[in-house]
Amino acid sequence: MGILSWIVVGLIAGWLAGLLVKGGGYGCVGDIIVGVIGGLLGGWIASHFFGMGDPMSGINLPSIGVALVGAVIFVVILRLIGGRRA
């Protein structure tokens, strides 16, 4: 998957994760970073634990879903480590 695809999927996944987890998002750049890291985390979880061959295969719903799951996990971890934001 190309870098532009990672950014687009990361933006969508980070924005959705910010909506799903209480407390709001991290701004446009922060949501992209959270989404891309979430995509990496979600892709690793999907391939390692569920045996998916290529979980992040472009800009499509399965890739966004995998990235969203990873981004939600990452946001929850960030909130647990960092505490509540002002």
- Could you write out the DSSP letters of every residue in 46-66? HHHHH--S-S--SSSHHHHHH
Q: Residue 56: which domain range?
A: 3-81
* Number of structural domains in the chain: 1
Residue 27 or 76, more confident: 76
Residue 8 lies in a domain: yes
Residue 13 lies in a domain: yes
Residue 57 or 74, more confident: 74
**Residue 21 to residue 53: CA distance in whole angstroms:** 28
Residue 9 lies in a domain: yes
Per-position b or e across 54-71, b if 16+ CB within 10 A of its CB: ebbeeeeeebbebbbbbb
What is the pTM (predicted TM-score) of this model? 0.80
Q: Which of 67, 38, 73 is closest to 55 using CA atoms?
A: 67
Residue 72 lies in a domain: yes
- Give the largest Cα separation in the chain, rounded: 41
Residue 86 lies in a domain: no
The predicted structure's pLDDT at residue 85: 53
